Amino acid sequence: MYSMNVTNCPGYTLGSLTESEYGLTAQLSLAGTPCDAFGTDITDLTIEVTYQSQTTLHVKIHDTANQQFTIPESVIERPPAPTESFTGSSDLLFNYNVSPFAFWITRRSCPDAMPIFDTRIASLPPAPIPPFNSSDPRTAFNGFPLVFEDQYLQQIASALPYGTNIYGLGEVIASSGFRRDIGTDGGIGTIQTLWARDVGDPIDENMYGSHPIYLEHRFNETTNTSSSSGVLLLSSAGSDIFLQTPPNSQVSLIEYRMVGGILDFYFFSGPTDAEVIAQYGAMVGYPMWQPAWGFGFHLCRWGYVNISEDIANVAAMRAANIPLEVQWNDIDLYHAFRDFTTDPVRFPGEELQQFIEQLTTNHQHYIPIVDAGIGATVNATDVYYPFSDGLANDAFIKNPDGSLYLGQVWPGYSAFPDWFAGNTQAWWTEALMNWTELGVNFSGIWLDMNEPSSFCSYSCGTGANFSALQPFNVVGTVVIGYPECYNETLWGPSGNMTINGTSTNSCPPGTTETLSKRGVGAGAEPNVNLTSPPYAIHNGYGALSTNTLATNATHSGGYVELDVHNMFGMLEEKTTHLALQTIFDGKRPFLISRSTFPSAGKWTGHWLGDNYSKWQYMYLSIQGILQFQIYQIPMVGADTCGFNDNTDEELCNRWMQLSAFTPFFRNHNTYGALPQEPYRWDSVADASRIAIAARYSMLPYWYTLFANASTNGLPPVRALFYEFPNEPELFNVDRQWLIGSDILVTPVLTPGATTVDGIFPGRGNVVWRDWWTHAAVDATPGANTTLSAPISHINVHIRDSSILLLHQEPAYTIYETREGPYSLLISLNEAGTAMGNAYVDDGESYPPGANRTLNFFASDGELDIESTGEYSICQKLDTITILGVQQPTTVTLDDDQIEGWTYNGANEELIISNLSIELNAAQTKLSWE
């Protein structure tokens, strides 16, 4: 039926162009005989170009009939339409050819540079290009026309500078590292498949999340300058994204192949890497505000099989004096593996409640797991309200015939929440609230299995021989689908225009067109193969329905799983976050989840999934943490010491230290594996105490970075080249990272090592000082320096020009730490200057309330502290340490001479103690001479 080849696809011709002060709109018409390569060519398209802001350009190409799936605004809120014209000032310019239609994006500031994005066939390598994997014909490039079909989109390609630096396009564990393989320098190129799946952390395959955004860091060797840009294709369609450089080509390329949806591009001008990330955040939403306690150490395992083990574990951590902020429970907690339950024998409600109350008394916290599948009741006497209430509220996904979709997860046959249904939010909130009333007074929620995962193919529970489904089956087939403004959940099945004199029109005034069937996509289109699209993306499991919901599973509104699959996790995160806002009433939710999608960071953090207790995976966790900063999900970390397999002492020692300098810090492992709590080995306990103390000291710095992420989208964790963009030797570095701009982390990533090699950015123009000793490093400019790294030691260095507000007395919990005094660490540059800032609030209010900003400036032998805001800081600034200073004779605080200071000449270190500085004062001045 289909040609399976795009060679003869005609492309499109542009016409009916209308320009406005905000952009342009035009029609695209198929330019010749349809090729029907992997679907039916769509004859008429519309292109809308909007200069969204000074730095963001939106290019949207969709079918004029609006039948293809479009992500609803209710799912991901888009920026409002601009009210100011940027067509004459934006640094990004949209250019186009009429026939064959093509477009390219250039910079106004660099008009002669290679475009940021360029779909012109003349700019791309000559085609056809044979498969770069000879055993896989899908890796050929038969041509580069724009192809827009009902179930094959869009084959749109762009030329890229040869061997350019590409980052992002995940979620993935890339064998090439954080920098993606683009097919140069001995690489083979990349096929990044986007289709969420439950799989134990594979390499170079699709996994839990889908993030179709990339950051390009473009370096000009002639001028020794760089600029960065970003490209988002906002689509939930199953996709293959190719990065490749064909043989003898002078350019590299990126090509998108999707099995549905539309082309919805956002271009971000940067020009710095952090600005690209922030601009993306402004588009999809900035990350959620984290509670301060979320930065503490979390401990979990699959295999705490009863409440006694939880109690003993918390006591053992306390006895070993290893700070424990949050105790977690995996599915062991459940009765019959069912969400929102506790096992009455192993986790009796009263004992669990007392345990959690004791944690709360000690300023500690508790987090349980919630899986995506809701177990079906097994007979008429089986009482399980989350399932029965979900049925009553029409909150579950269905089969195409309207019957309940039943997959299989831990509890057996399971239904799956329909996040598009009108009653799901209330039902889900009630289920969580009822759980707290049963004694499970959680501080946050862990969402797992939400790709979603199913252990069987298709709706395997449908028609199965178990009595619990009989009442539902007796009702018979339910016909779904009503006009777009009739809500059958509210008004029942009659379809009447009025009921008891009240209109049943559920659309707000003036929104009928918006809420029409636009974008329902494959669920409403004829002759679409929902189960096996003609173009087979490179899903690691093969068929798209393997180990997940069937692609013909049907959601409220007529959406089908084929179109919305990649958003399941994000929609669960959004629903859960909103539920926790209701339950916590004024306090910040805390969420960690597995499957993510653009905008998920507004609702959740992320852990990197089911990794392995291998050194390789400890190293690979770094690229994952860096990736998720791009995706605007900065609260991210790995299962420390590894999840699958058994860990050992050395690996756990090194990994506990590494993870202490990442945003989310949790030790977690699998059922039956060797216990790996940090108290199990003396050296691991020692390494953990050292690293956690440093982490808790840095909490004001971490907290400020995350406040900046939540207000401005700036990444808390950064690749080295973000801060040093013109040093090409840094472009591949993913064995080190920066916390903010000022702290460099260089972990040991190999067994048996007593030294570690690391590069110190700045090429000799930056002074890096040891966090532990404050000694300046004698670094090799532009190359690796070998550092001592005995067991239980991790290398951490402070950049010059920085001022860090710290907790002076790291304690057992975050609460106790925050109650103690502050200190200030100043690392002067060679000119004797430094600066920094800190954001302080109560660490828990939602929405954030009163706060205080502290700005620090040091120069010419003087430190100035400026304090603004309404939040009152009770704790005093006790100690100020200044590095890179000559020995003074006099130190004064607000013109009063003070005596309590010491000087270490070897480190050029001035330590001024017992200051008791009031941080609420508008101005404070310290000087030394």
> Catalytic amino acids?
448, 451, 610
Check: CB of residue 293 under 8 Å from CB of residue 321: no
**Paired tokens of 133:** 């994997």
Dihedral of the alpha carbons of 829, 833, 834, 835, in degrees to the nearest 10: -160
User: Distance between CA atoms of 205 and 644, rounded to whole angstroms?
Assistant: 18
Contacts of 249 (CB under 8 A, 6+ apart): 125, 162
Angle at alpha carbon of residue 430, lines to 429 and 436, rounded to 5°: 95
Tell me which DSSP letter residue 767 carries.
-
Contacts of 576 (CB under 8 A, 6+ apart): 370, 428, 432, 445, 447, 589, 591, 603, 604
Reference 254, options 171, 151, 165; nearest CA is 165
Whether the Cβ atoms of residue 229 and residue 218 lie closer than 8 Å to each other: yes
The answer to whether the beta carbons of residues 804 and 798 sit under 8 Å apart is yes
Contact present, 242 and 140 (Cβ < 8 Å) = no
Please give the angle made by the CA atoms of 408, 412 and 418, to the nearest 5 degrees: 55
Backbone phi, psi, residue 369, to 5°: -90, 150
Q: Quick one: DSSP state of residue 463? A: T
For every residue of 101-160, DSSP letters joined together read: TEEEEEESS-TTSPPSEE--GGGSPPS-B--SSTT-GGG-B-----EEETTEEEEEEEEE
Q: Where are the alpha helices (DSSP H) in 585-671?
A: 615-630, 649-659
**Is 300 in contact with 332 (CB distance < 8 Å)?**
no
Count the residues in the chain.
929
Q: Assign 3-class secondary structure to 363-423.
A: CCEEEEEEECCEECCCCCCCCCHHHHHHHHCCCECECCCCCECCEEECCEEEECECCCCCC
Alpha carbons within 13 A on the beta-carbon side of 376: 29
CA 824 to CA 548: how far, in whole Å?
A: 51
783 φ, ψ (degrees, to nearest 5): -150, 175
Give the pair of three-digit tokens for residue 738.
């920066």
Q: What is d(CA 910, CA 197) in angstroms, rounded to the nearest whole number?
A: 54
Burial 275-303 (b: 16+ CB within 10 A, else e): bbbbbbbbbbbbbbbbbbbbbbbbbbbbe
Tally Cβ neighbours within 10 Å of residue 89: 10
At residue 774, φ and ψ (nearest 5 deg) are 70, 10
Characterize the bridge pairing of strands 445-448 and 365-371: parallel
CA separation for the pair 103, 115 (Å, rounded): 10
CA angle 55, 59, 63 (to 5 degrees): 165
- At 223 the three-state DSSP class reads coil
Q: Report the distance separating Cα 733 and Cα 77, nearest Å.
A: 35
Residue bearing tokens 């919630």: 370
To which residue do tokens 């021989």 refer? 465
